[in-house]
Amino acid sequence: MADHRYTFKIATEPEEMEQIFRLNHRTFVDEIPQHTERKDGKLIDKFHEENTYVICKLGDEVVGMMSARGKRPFSLDHKLPDLDAHMGPGRKPVEIRLLAVDKEHRGTKVFLGLGMLMFQTQRALGYDSAVISGTTLQQRLYKRIGFKPFGPLVGEEGAQFQPMMLRIEQQMEKMQDFAKILPSDFLAGIQTNLLPGPVTLKENVKQAFSETPISHRGEQFIKDFNGLRQDLAAFVNAQHASLFLGSGTLANEIVAGQILRMGQKGIILNNGEFGTRLVDHAKRFGLDYEVIQKPWGVPFTEEDFAGRDLSDCGWLWAVHCETSTGMLQDLDLLKRVAKAHDLSLCLDAISSIGAVPVDLEGVKFAAGTSGKALQSFSGLAIVFHDELVEPDDRLPRYFDLGKYLASGGIAFTQNSNLIYALKAALQNVKDDPARLQRRRDLGLWLREELKQGGLEPLLPVEQNNPVVLTLALPPHVSSVEVAKTAEAAGFLLSAHSQYLVDKNWVQLCLMGELSQGQIAPVVPVLVDAVFGEQSDRTPRAA
């Protein structure tokens, strides 16, 4: 089986822990007689509750693990009482407790991936070196990873160990240089993805995408395609959903085409980059519109519409989640305004669907995408609509929603791999009703961790999509350089879009499946990157 299918992560799930215990038993009982046999075939480390576990998975199977513990005394302290004297002065070590890899997977890539992710995580937590009790049976392996022996052998006859140490910073540089010759997706497998997209995908989504493509004219595909449309509509309480081969931008273009068909003047709300893009869509389609403009990060309120004569307007177009700032517009407010002024409400909901609860009842048209918080591959545009529409030859064929509907939903070539991947991703969402609350709780927790480190998110919590946290950095600190520092530590942040560069902002997005254990180390990385050695890290207003 190809090595590039290995993925590396911090263990968080109960099933992953169960597999770790069994792997430990196979390694440290069956293979290395370090512990006595357990009837249940599981070996649980005595410091389990204090350990961080990094694992290598092949599909759903845990094939390798490495654990670390930073709390003293180490087990090596008991075996070697003068441990600090052997390591040298001023070290802040973490102890690698266990390293186990199934025999058939003991290749360089597995050990390299486990080491890189573990050392990234521990360096982010402030540790500068790692120590290990390396079995004498695997000295070549440990030395290949980068450990160097020190001090006398410890342990008992038949199970002797060599104390060993490496310096994390030096080893990370060597590992990163070596990883450059590996497949391009190798490093992605050991990084924590905090981007708004693409996001980390579950195995069943990747598996669905990897199946043999089938014809978009086949009977079974058409049935599955239309079933997915119905499921998507039900997910957001819309009447209909249509799918197109393209990005979220295409979805907004199709919405613009339907607004053009209304033949009326309208209102566009703009308080960020993606509101600006709605204005650009409207301009390119020749729509008749006015813009209600507010500064980036300032929410729209009832007062913005009070006293306005909207009697000549027929539609209102807004961004639900303004990704540039993380602002979540008040959808109930938009619905009230639209109803009060008899306006057709249209939305860009690309960054909110799947991230927060979204109810599209009362919304005329809304744009979505298969990527981002729905956790599938990018490449499918989604348009939600409250009624069926007729074809309109004034529109380009590819942008004509009515033409798709007249063709049973499939007017042109569709990609079966993307469709079945999205179908699997949506099923994951349906099977996990606590997902949205869990993601909100994680975002609120990360917000508080950042604030404790002196990094105040741009928006107050009541206005913020909890999964999009934007940090406005001081002028003397480059957001791009901060993102590069975070990437070197194993965290992918959003900072390279031009609007973020211009504002000197960096973003942490929780669109994918993440845990506290995975993202906790990013906080000290960011604090150090922004404040350096400063001791006064009091919270700042953005």
Averaged confidence pLDDT in the chain: 89
Q: What's the token pair of residue 315? A: 């539609």
Residue 167 and residue 287 share a domain: no
Mean pLDDT of 524-541: 64
169-225 tens-digit pLDDT:
888 777 766 666 666 556 566 678 899 988 888 888 988 999 999 999 999 999 999
Residue 455 and residue 403 share a domain: no
Return the percentage of the chain with pLDDT > 90, whole number.
63
**Residue 67, φ and ψ in degrees, nearest 5:** -120, 155
- pLDDT band per the 50, 70, 90 thresholds, residue 168: confident
Residue 280 and residue 145 share a domain: no
Q: Count of domains in the chain?
A: 3
- pLDDT band per the 50, 70, 90 thresholds, residue 535: very low
| Per-residue pLDDT, 188 | 60
249-295 tens-digit pLDDT:
999 999 999 999 999 999 999 999 999 999 999 999 999 999 999 99
| Per-residue pLDDT, 325 | 97
Q: What's the CA gap between 207 and 198, in Å, rounded?
A: 17
> Residues 6 or more apart from 535 whose CB is under 8 A from it?
none
Of 395, 412, 430, which closes a domain?
Answer: 430
| Residues 354 and 201: beta-carbon distance below 8 Å | no
Of 378, 406, 430, which closes a domain?
Answer: 430
Residue 289 and residue 223 share a domain: yes
| Residues 426 and 208: beta-carbon distance below 8 Å | no
Q: Is residue 542 part of a domain?
A: no
Residue 247 and residue 161 share a domain: no
Q: What's the token pair of residue 320? A: 């639900």
405-416 tens-digit pLDDT:
999 999 999 999
Q: Is residue 399 part of a domain?
A: yes
Residue 405 and residue 504 share a domain: no
| Per-residue pLDDT, 186 | 60
Q: What's the CA gap between 61 and 63, in Å, rounded?
A: 6
Residue of higher predicted confidence among 369 and 179: 369
Residue 494 and residue 469 share a domain: yes
Structural domain boundaries enclosing 38: 3-190
Q: What's the CA gap between 15 and 30, in Å, rounded?
A: 21
322-357 tens-digit pLDDT:
999 999 999 999 999 999 999 999 999 999 999 999
Q: Indicate the helix (H) or strand (E) that contains 172.
A: helix 168-179
43-60 tens-digit pLDDT:
999 899 999 999 998 888
- pLDDT band per the 50, 70, 90 thresholds, residue 534: very low
Of 430, 452, 475, which closes a domain?
Answer: 430
| Per-residue pLDDT, 516 | 80
